[in-house]
């Protein structure tokens, strides 16, 4: 099976963006790559590190995540509820759907919506630089 853009990020990717290959950075990359949840808060990552026996400070987690964001290795999202959530940036842009009951995050992409957004911005004399779309959903009731 051809890998669908799920390329694993490794040491070279860090060097490439001018970041030294340190233990904390590699561990955080590993967590982000292998964790069951693709979208994690800084605290999530921190707790996971502790559980795996790594003694890395929360401040470092924040610093590293910021550097990764700047380097384009992770994307930061601001869903409702204060904390930022981070996810590895595998390239393909997508939007999110958050289940308000389970908290589960589903990714999706819709070309038509993307195009409409661009058109709307244009129509108002603007150029679309970026956007944020989050659908808050709940499981379709069987009959309730």
Q: Could you tell me the CA-to-CA distances from 12 to 9, 20, 27, 32, 79 in Å, in that order?
A: 8, 10, 15, 17, 31
Under the criterion CB under 7 A, does residue 60 sit at the interface with DNA? yes
Strand 85-88 and strand 95-99: the pairing is unpaired
Q: Out of DNA, its own copies, none, which partner does residue 117 contact, by CB within 5 to 8 A per kind?
A: its own copies
Q: Within positions 40 to 79, which residues make up the interface with its own copies, using CB under 8 A?
A: 78
Q: Could you tell me the CA-to-CA distances from 90 to 1, 5, 28, 94 in Å, in that order?
A: 18, 6, 16, 10
Closer to its own copies at the Cβ: 55 or 80? 80
Under the criterion CB under 8 A, does residue 93 sit at the interface with its own copies? no
Cβ-in-10-Å burial (0-12, 13-18, 19+) of 49 comes to: buried
Q: Which stretch binds its own copies (CB under 8 A): 9-17, 30-38, 48-56, 110-118?
A: 110-118
User: Which residues lie near DNA (CB under 7 A)?
Assistant: 15, 19-25, 41-43, 55-60, 62-64, 66, 82-84
User: Which residues lie near its own copies (CB under 8 A)?
Assistant: 78, 80, 97, 99-100, 106, 108, 110, 112-113, 116-117, 120-122, 124-141
């Amino acid at each position: 099976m051809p890998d669908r853009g799920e390329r694993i990020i490794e040491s070279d990717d860090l060097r490439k963006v001018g970041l030294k290959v340190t233990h904390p950075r590699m561990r955080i990359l590993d967590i982000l790559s292998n964790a069951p949840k693709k979208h994690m808060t800084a605290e999530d990552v921190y707790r996971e590190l502790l559980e795996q026996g790594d003694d890395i400070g929360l401040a470092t987690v924040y610093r590293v995540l910021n550097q990764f964001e700047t380097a384009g290795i992770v994307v930061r999202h601001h869903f409702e509820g204060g904390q930022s959530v981070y996810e590895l940036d595998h390239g393909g842009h997508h939007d999110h759907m958050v289940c308000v009951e389970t908290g589960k995050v589903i990714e999706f992409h819709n070309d038509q919506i993307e195009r409409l957004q661009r058109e709307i911005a244009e129509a108002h004399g603007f150029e679309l630089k970026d956007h944020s779309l989050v659908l808050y959903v709940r499981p379709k009731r069987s009959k309730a």
